[in-house]
């Protein structure tokens, strides 16, 4: 890549070339103009890892803890380190742009992509995102803040209009973007799928031009979410620089015609092109060649950082009678559906093939010096566990053969056009291509051999974007080819899992074939559904077993065990892009199993994994409870490090956990109804609502315990004189002494809240405005400072003036942390003033 003279290049570009630059050419690349030395740019999904250019059968990558887990660390230094490694992973994948972080607000526990976002609070989310992006961009890689804005649900996400007051839009939903931009102006922003107040964001000039560019003075590139462009002229005029992915739907000849007919002035098109060329110059120092090979890093130092991040994200919710840390000399019984699987990430565009995974059972086994035993308790799969890893190929390799044909199985003498060896029996073919495939309609035979270890009736399941039949020794066991029903897998584009059963004998080998037809062979009504590429497949199996037998066995073993740890929760099946959860409950059977085991052994440790809040009807019975999120590659080791006390937990909840779904402020206004969703709770999202109506959640935002104790004292405030312009933000410095009063090293998170005076509008009782994390040895004390800006700490959005209002009055400062007394002080705003900008 060579640096471009942007203005000279724009003059030399033909209209057709300009138009081509404003749209992708495939799923992950922009257009190149070779005659002017304009290279293509490569981008990759990046909420919790850099997948590269292949969603299907890709190069493995580092999987980081999900964003909610990173949000729970409240650690800006850690987020900076994570961002740096993410940048290095991007370079290894030959990618100039990371499509992340996601910083939408966790408005409801049901949001399918909630695990991709940091928090329910804009200050926490925006601050962490800013430091993450700073780490990414220090490596020369472009970060992308998304999804701008109000993309807070999956239901009808491309069609729904988020009806939201301008005050809530500013104070809640735009705030994390605004704060992140103050710390690190990102090179890119991605528009949300949805409408805001009846206009799609990708063609919303007020949001993209008036706020983002003019008010915030941001000059990067705006791209659409994938297939999130809905017009030609309106999107160009609003400020959407790049339509993704390719091939274009809305630009091409349509945009050239719009320019030729003066519907889009050419100077406006030039503005879009200028932002693309400026981004090319921005990433030029990376020196990534065209069609760069994708590589794996997986270095020891990377593994150590991922493990540290996983451990630091684990929240100690309860620890009565100091049951934790565990005694590594004692034998341990491990129970539960999440024990022997690694719930390392959520589903959808955040998913990737990890370098490796560590399950909680493996983590505990590696730590314990005593015997470690296992009892299943219950299963929690939504669809049957993948069969692929249990299959063998003809030559004895783990997995199965993936053979591609242009003709269906019914035709004789088919010609093989591609053959792969796969292990994972789930594949989304959105970016699968082969030059020998003649059209989007093609067929795949997936063949492997299964030798069950136990005799019994086995259930088999098939889920497809397309059609599929599963045959065992030539017998059709599952037929998912006609009368198909809409499901939630693969971004909401797949069928439900169709199942069939067959009795199998232990030790006998059976030939398993999945006959798959690509997406056009399906009879589903796909109106309103985005079909990404030629389709997808998933097939699984499990031996039938009574849930009561599993629970009873776990209860019996628990009643006799020295130490018991339950691992339960959700997985990428339950939390995934394209589909919102229907309720907050754990998978069927989990709550009953946990409750009955606790009855049998009240000292049982419970570890829950999920990216968003779940109900815990047994919480009152627990003495020790951890929340562990989706922890990335090192998930199991990170949890075990906390369980055994090698890491003292310091995480705090970035979201409120309500007792029940009905308590959540969005309960009456979640999901699309006739094309719109009303943000009826207004600014009272998360803790702001629970505080305002005095409704204690099960576990509040900011909650988290430690194996040690802390004290906070000697709070003092230093303020600067009020200026007339507020240009310097008028920093307020809160100084206090934090001491580790316990016997173990640990970290305290100091949280600074502002309690506003009575003003001309209703306001939350308190709002988080600053935080910092401090590590202390036993007995050590440190002077800690939290700096906030007076204008940001005191302002609300005045819709009549269309400005932020910092009203005069006395504002109380409240400082909290892990247990202990709250510290209070106050400062005064002497004069009401109004402002706009970052």
pLDDT tens per residue across span 139-178: 999 999 999 999 999 999 999 999 999 999 999 999 999 9
Measured CA to CA, the distance from residue 507 to residue 452 in angstroms comes to: 6
pLDDT grade for 2, boundaries at 50, 70 and 90: confident
Tens digits of residue pLDDT in 276-289: 999 999 999 999 99
Concatenating the DSSP letter of every residue in 739-762 gives EE-SSS-EEEEEEEEEE--S-SS-
To which CATH superfamily is domain 388-424+433-533 assigned?
A: Galactose-binding domain-like (2.60.120.260)
Measured CA to CA, the distance from residue 401 to residue 380 in angstroms comes to: 28
pLDDT score at 234: 98
Ordered alpha helix ranges (H), 93-250: 122-138, 166-168, 175-183, 205, 233-238
Sole residue written with tokens 């093989």: 416
Measured CA to CA, the distance from residue 192 to residue 217 in angstroms comes to: 20
User: Residue 116, Cβ neighbours under 10 Å: how many?
Assistant: 28
- Which three-class secondary structure string do you get for 804-827? EEECCEEEEEEEECCCCCCEEEEE
Measured CA to CA, the distance from residue 729 to residue 485 in angstroms comes to: 56
| 726 pLDDT more than 70 | no
pLDDT score at 724: 47
* Residue 328 DSSP label: T
Between the CA of residue 224 and those of 231, 301, 577, what are the distances in Å? Answer: 11, 35, 17
- Which three-class secondary structure string do you get for 528-595? CCCCCCCCEEEEEEEECCCHHHHHHHHHHHHHCCCEEEEEEECCCCCCECCECCCCCCCCCCHHHHHH
Q: b/e string for 527-544 if b means 16 or more Cβ within 10 A?
A: eebebbbbbbbbbbbbee
Fold of 300-380+546-692: Rossmann fold (3.40.50)
Among 611, 720, 618, 600, residue whose Cα is nearest residue 343: 611
Query: Contact 125/110 with Cβ under 8 angstroms?
Result: no
Query: Contact 446/74 with Cβ under 8 angstroms?
Result: no
Tens digits of residue pLDDT in 525-563: 877 677 778 999 999 999 999 999 999 999 999 999 999
728 exposure class (CB count in 10 Å sphere: 0-12, 13-18, 19+) = exposed
Report the largest interatomic distance among the alpha carbons of the chain, rounded to a whole angstrom. Answer: 86
Q: Are strands 795-798 and 803-806 parallel, antiparallel or unpaired?
A: antiparallel
Tens digits of residue pLDDT in 107-137: 999 999 999 999 999 999 999 999 999 999 9
Residues marked as catalytic: 225
Query: Contact 304/632 with Cβ under 8 angstroms?
Result: no
What average pLDDT does the chain have? Answer: 96
pLDDT score at 727: 55
Between the CA of residue 365 and those of 329, 336, 379, 469, 643, what are the distances in Å? Answer: 12, 15, 21, 40, 12
Query: Contact 598/622 with Cβ under 8 angstroms?
Result: yes
Query: Would you say the CATH fold of 710-835 matches that of 300-380+546-692?
Result: no
At residue 673, the 3 state secondary structure works out as: strand
Query: Considering the entire predicted model, what is its pTM?
Result: 0.96
pLDDT score at 624: 98
Interacting residues of 527 by C-beta distance below 8 A, sequence separation 6+? none
Sole residue written with tokens 């990216």: 611
| 723 pLDDT more than 80 | no
pLDDT score at 531: 73
Q: b/e string for 616-625 if b means 16 or more Cβ within 10 A?
A: bebbebbbbb
Query: Contact 145/133 with Cβ under 8 angstroms?
Result: yes
Among 188, 72, 6, 165, residue whose Cα is nearest residue 655: 72
Interacting residues of 615 by C-beta distance below 8 A, sequence separation 6+? 583, 584, 585, 586, 591, 659, 660, 661
Among 372, 374, 381, 306, residue whose Cα is nearest residue 339: 374
Tens digits of residue pLDDT in 692-721: 999 999 999 999 999 999 999 999 999 876
pLDDT grade for 728, boundaries at 50, 70 and 90: low
Sign of CA dihedral 298, 302, 303, 306: negative
| 18 pLDDT more than 90 | yes
Quick one: tokens of 479? 């037929």
Measured CA to CA, the distance from residue 365 to residue 640 in angstroms comes to: 9
229 exposure class (CB count in 10 Å sphere: 0-12, 13-18, 19+) = buried
Q: Which of 215-219, 367-371, 587-591, 723-727 has the lowest mean pLDDT?
A: 723-727
To which CATH superfamily is domain 710-835 assigned?
A: Immunoglobulins (2.60.40.10)
Percent of the chain with pLDDT over 70: 99
Where are the domains positioned within the chain? 300-380+546-692, 388-424+433-533, 710-835
Q: Which residues, in sequence order, are bridge partners of residue 776? A: 746
Tens digits of residue pLDDT in 402-423: 999 999 999 999 999 999 999 9
Sole residue written with tokens 């400082």: 815
Sole residue written with tokens 């998304």: 146
Measured CA to CA, the distance from residue 712 to residue 240 in angstroms comes to: 49
| 725 pLDDT more than 60 | no
């Amino acid at each position: 890549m060579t640096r471009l003279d942007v203005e000279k290049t724009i003059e030399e570009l033909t209209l057709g070339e300009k138009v081509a630059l404003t749209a992708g050419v495939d799923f992950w690349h922009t257009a190149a103009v070779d005659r002017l030395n304009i290279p293509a740019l490569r981008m990759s999904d990046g909420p919790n890892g850099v997948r590269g250019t292949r969603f299907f059968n890709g190069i493995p990558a580092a999987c980081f803890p999900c964003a909610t887990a990173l949000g729970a660390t409240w650690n800006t230094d850690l987020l900076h380190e994570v961002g740096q490694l993410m940048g290095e992973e991007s370079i290894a994948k030959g990618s100039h742009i990371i499509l992340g972080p996601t910083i939408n607000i966790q408005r409801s526990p049901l949001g399918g992509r909630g695990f991709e976002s940091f928090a329910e609070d804009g200050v926490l989310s925006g601050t962490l995102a800013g430091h993450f992006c700073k780490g990414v961009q220090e490596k020369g890689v472009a970060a992308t803040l998304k999804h701008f804005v109000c993309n807070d649900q999956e239901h009808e996400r491309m069609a729904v209009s988020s009806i939201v007051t301008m005050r809530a839009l500013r104070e809640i939903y735009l705030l994390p973007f605004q704060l992140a931009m103050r710390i690190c102006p990102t090179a890119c922003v991605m528009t949300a799928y949805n409408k805001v107040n009846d206009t799609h964001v990708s063609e919303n000039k007020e949001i993209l031009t008036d706020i983002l560019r003019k008010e915030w003075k941001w000059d990067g590139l705006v791209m659409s979410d994938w297939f999130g462009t809905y017009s030609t002229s309106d999107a160009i005029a609003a400020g959407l620089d790049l339509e993704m992915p390719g091939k274009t739907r809305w630009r091409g000849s349509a945009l050239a015609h719009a320019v030729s007919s003066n519907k889009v002035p050419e100077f406006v098109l030039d503005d879009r092109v200028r932002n693309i060329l400026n981004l090319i110059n921005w990433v030029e120092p990376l020196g990534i060649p065209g069609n760069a090979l994708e590589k794996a890093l997986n270095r020891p130092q990377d593994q150590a950082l991922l493990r540290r991040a996983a451990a630091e994200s684990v929240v100690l919710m309860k620890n009565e009678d100091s049951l934790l840390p565990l005694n590594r000399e004692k034998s341990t019984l491990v129970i539960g559906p999440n024990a022997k699987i690694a719930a390392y990430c959520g589903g959808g565009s955040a998913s990737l093939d990890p370098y490796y995974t560590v399950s909680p059972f493996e983590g505990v086994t590696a730590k314990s010096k005593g015997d470690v035993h296992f009892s299943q308790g219950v299963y929690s799969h939504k669809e049957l566990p993948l069969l692929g890893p249990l299959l063998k190929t003809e030559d004895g390799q783990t997995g199965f053969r993936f053979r591609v044909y242009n003709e269906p199985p019914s035709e004789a003498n088919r010609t093989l056009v591609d053959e792969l060896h796969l292990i994972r029996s789930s594949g989304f073919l959105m970016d699968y291509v082969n030059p020998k495939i003649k059209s989007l309609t093609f067929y795949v035979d997936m063949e492997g051999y299964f030798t069950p270890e136990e005799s019994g009736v086995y259930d088999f399941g098939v889920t497809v974007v397309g059609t599929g039949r599963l045959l065992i020794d030539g017998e059709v066991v599952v037929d998912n080819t006609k009368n198909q029903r809409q499901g939630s897998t693969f971004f909401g584009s797949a069928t439900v899992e169709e199942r069939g059963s067959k009795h199998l004998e232990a030790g006998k080998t059976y030939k398993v074939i999945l006959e798959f037809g690509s997406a056009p062979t399906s009879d589903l009504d796909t109106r309103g559904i985005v079909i990404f590429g030629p389709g997808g497949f998933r097939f699984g199996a499990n031996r039938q077993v009574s849930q009561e037998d599993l629970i009873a066995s776990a209860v019996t073993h628990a009643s006799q065990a020295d130490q018991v740890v339950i691992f339960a929760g959700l997985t990428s099946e339950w939390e995934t892009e394209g589909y919102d959860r229907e309720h907050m409950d754990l998978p069927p059977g989990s709550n009953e199993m946990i409750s009955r085991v606790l009855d049998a052994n009240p000292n049982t440790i419970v570890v829950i994994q999920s990216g968003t809040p779940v109900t815990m009807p047994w919480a009152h019975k627990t003495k020790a409870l951890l929340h562990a999120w989706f922890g990335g590659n090192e998930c199991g080791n990170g949890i075990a490090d906390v369980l055994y006390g090698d890491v003292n937990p310091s995480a705090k909840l970035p979201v409120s956990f309500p007792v029940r779904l009905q308590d959540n402020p969005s309960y009456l206004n979640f999901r699309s109804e006739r094309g719109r969703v009303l943000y009826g709770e207004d600014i009272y999202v998360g803790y702001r609502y629970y505080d305002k109506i005095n409704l204690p959640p099960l576990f509040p935002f900011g909650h988290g315990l430690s194996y040690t104790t802390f004290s906070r004292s000697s709070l003092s405030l230093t303020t600067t004189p009020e200026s007339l312009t507020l240009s310097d933000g008028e920093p307020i410095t809160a100084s206090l002494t934090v001491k580790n009063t316990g016997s173990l090293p640990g970290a305290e998170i100091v949280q600074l809240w502002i309690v506003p005076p009575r003003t001309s509008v209703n306001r939350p009782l308190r709002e988080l405005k600053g935080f910092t994390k401090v590590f202390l040895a036993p007995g050590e004390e440190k002077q800690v400072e939290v700096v906030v800006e007076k204008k940001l700490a005191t302002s609300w959005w005045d819709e009549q003036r269309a400005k932020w209002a910092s009203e005069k009055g006395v504002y109380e400062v409240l400082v909290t942390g892990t247990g202990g007394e709250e510290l209070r002080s106050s400062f005064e705003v002497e004069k009401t003033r109004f402002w706009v900008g970052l």
